[in-house]
Chains A and B, each alone.
Chain A
Amino acid sequence: QSALTQPPSASGSPGQSVTISCTGTTSDVGGYNYVSWYQQHPGKAPKLIIYEVTKRPSGVPDRFSGSKSGNTASLTVSGLQAEDEADYYCYSYAGSNRFCVFGTGTKVTVL
């Protein structure tokens, strides 16, 4: 099962925005609106920040937003804060054969 493709790293200064891409195929990202995003700080469990492409769970700041175009989903973090420095992973449902797949992960650095 091939992982979804994310850039290894992204960075921005406090207050700036950073956008992370997540590229799949028509069999996963492009075929379903079941893309979610997770934030993981070192030594911690992943935390859900976006689901169903654009929805935010309760308690997640509106600085986090998601979108999708074709086979690529994106996560945008606006107004970067120091605590946003973490690894970010996308996830997509992939149908009844593969079921689901994670992205390769992106390390976000706040400069």
Chain B
Amino acid sequence: QVQLVESGGGVVQPGTSLRLSCAASGFTFHAYAMHWVRQAPGKGLEWVSVISHDGNNIYYGDSVKGRFTISRDNSKNTLFLQMNSLRAEDTAMYYCAKVIDLWNGCDYWGQGTLVTVSS
């Protein structure tokens, strides 16, 4: 069965960096685009970034553009999110999710990893 397991979250100070990982199993990872989606405490879902199956096409939401970098290692079935210059408003649960296809939504989601940015 499809499993997505995020890791790397924690409490960090503003201005610092953090790298999230998402270990995928149960499907052909290299055949699917992957998203990062976040949810601030008590708030709605916010799309962060998407990467195509081969890593050649990448898109970011306006709030993270220039600070976050999405990448993937298809040999290790792992998705990454490098987050730099973190701000208090980046505090959220971060989910990785597998797409149905590139333009469609996501059919499988991980349980999330919590990032707290606080001084």
Interface status of B50 (Cβ within 8 A of chain A): yes
Whether the Cβ atoms of A34 and B104 lie closer than 8 Å is yes
Given contacts A38-B45, A102-B44, A105-B44, contact A46 B95 (CB under 8 A): yes
Beta-carbon contact of B59 and A99 below 8 Å: yes
Cβ of B88 under 8 Å from chain A? no
A89 within 8 A of B: yes
For the A-B complex, the count of residue pairs with Cβ-Cβ distances under 8 Å equals 64
Contact partners of A51 in chain B: CB under 8 A? 100, 104-105, 107
| Structural contact, B45 and A102, CB atoms closer than 8 A | yes
Q: For window 59-111 of chain A, which residues contact chain B by CB distance below 8 Å? A: 87, 89, 91, 93, 96, 99-105
**Please, which residues of chain A bring their CB within 8 A of the CB of B45?**
38, 40, 46, 89, 91, 102, 105
Q: Is the CB of B111 within 8 A of A48?
A: no
Residues of chain B contacted by A34 (CB below 8 angstroms): 103-105
Complex-state Cα separation, A64 to B109, whole angstroms: 20
CB of B30, distance to nearest CB on chain A (Å): 21
B58 nearest CB neighbor, chain A only: A99
**Residue with the highest number of chain B CB atoms closer than 10 Å, among A3, A46, A47:** A46
Using CB atoms, name the residue of chain A closest to B62: A1
Residues on B with C-beta less than 8 A from A52 are 104
Closest to B102 in A: A93
A24–B80 alpha-carbon span in the complex (Å): 30
A101–B59 Cα distance when bound, in Å, is 12
User: With contacts A45-B110, A46-B95, A89-B44 known, is A99 near B50, CB below 8 A?
Assistant: yes
Closest 4 CB pairs of A and B: A36-B105, A105-B44, A99-B59, A45-B109
The residues of A with any CB-CB pair to B shorter than 8 Å are 1, 3, 32, 34, 36, 38, 40, 45-48, 51-52, 57, 87, 89, 91, 93, 96, 99-105
Interface positions of B (Cβ within 8 A of A)? 37, 44-47, 50, 59, 61-63, 95, 97, 100, 103-112
